[in-house]
Each structure stands twice: as C-alpha cells, then as structure tokens.
Amino acid sequence: MPSESPRGPGSLEDYRDYLRLLARSHIPSGLRGQLDASDAVQLTLLKAHEKQEQFRGTTDVELRAWLRTILARILADATRVNRRRRGDRIRSIEASLDQSSARLEAFLAAEQSAPSEQAMRAEQTVRLASALRQLPDDQRSALELRYLQGLSVADVAERMGRGLESVTGLLYRGMKSLRRLMDETA
C-alpha cells in the first residue's frame, strides 16, 4: 500500500487519531497502566505497514475495518489470559470497536448510500477524530463516553465522578467546540 492511497484521505498516518479515539475507549481498565492508546495505535500502524500486501480492500471503509481488526487483535493480545478464550475476546473487542466506529459515523450523518457520500462521510470520520483530539481532556472524555460508548448522561457522570450538571456542561461545550473545529477544517 503506497503512502498516497486512492482508498482514502492519504496514508495510514491519516488514521492515527481515528484509531487513538477507538483505542482510548477500549483498553481494559486493568491494562491502562501497561498499555496506552498511543502505544496500541503505534503497534496497529506498524502491523498494518508490515502486512500491507495482505490488505485486499479498495475503499476507505474496508481500510478502516482492516485497521480496526488489527487494533482489536493487539488489544486482545495485550489482555490475553489464556489461549483458549482468545478467539472470543478478539471477536468481542472487534464487535465493540465496530460498534464504536458505527456510533462515530452515525454521529456525523444519517445512512448514506451513494459512494461519493460514503467517501465524504469516511473523510469526516477521520476529521472528527482529529478534532476530538484537540478538545480538553474532560470534554473529550465526556463526548467519547456519551457518543462512542453510548452511555447515558447519568452513567457518564458516574464514570467521570462528576455531577449531572457538570457533565451536561462538558457535553455542551465539547459539542460547541467540536462543531467549530469541524467547520474550520471543512
């Protein structure tokens, strides 16, 4: 896979923020001190580069799915307790990553079927991940928990150890900043 790819917005590096966004919300809590999202993403991109000849897709959607599969395997390997349960854990992590990715894409737009609309949505997904990276940590965390993991506002408040009003404010300010950042890069 050359660095300039007709499949998407460019090189594998263009997917770093997208993968980091997914990894941050899927690293098991017991592993957070040993592996962080940046490490998982770096390993994912390294594996993708090493195995680029194995990628058979032709679209950005297929490339993102392939990268999510690699990320899921890296997270599963990092959390492996015994080899017998590894397959179930990989499928579980892959399903979870697919659900988060679907939520991320649904966050951007309703179902679109034309190839040009799908390509535009794929590009927006990568831009959204990049914009989220630029938000303050507490706003980004609140948005990720609410919209990527699908938690209720009350659950987000509990997870973050904050009150409902505080989380509501974080979500409001985060969305406002996110819209501004997305408009700036449009």
We report the CATH number of the domain holding residue 186 as 1.10.10.10
> Rounded distance, CA 186 to CA 182, Å?
6
pTM over 0.85: no
Sign of CA dihedral 96, 97, 100, 101: negative
Within this chain, do residues 18 and 109 fall inside the same structural domain, yes or no? yes
Within this chain, do residues 16 and 71 fall inside the same structural domain, yes or no? yes
The answer to whether position 21 is within a domain reads yes
Q: What is the pLDDT of residue 21?
A: 86
> Cα dihedral angle (52, 62, 140, 121), rounded to 10 degrees?
130
Within this chain, do residues 90 and 170 fall inside the same structural domain, yes or no? no
The mean pLDDT value for 128-146 works out to 89
Within this chain, do residues 63 and 96 fall inside the same structural domain, yes or no? yes
Q: What would the pLDDT profile of 87-116 be if each residue is shown by its tens digit?
A: 555 566 666 666 766 666 666 554 455 666
Average pLDDT, the chain: 77
Domain boundary among 54, 82, 113: 113
Number of structural domains found in the chain: 2
Domain boundary among 113, 142, 177: 113
Q: What is the pLDDT of residue 98?
A: 67
Structural domain of 138: 134-186
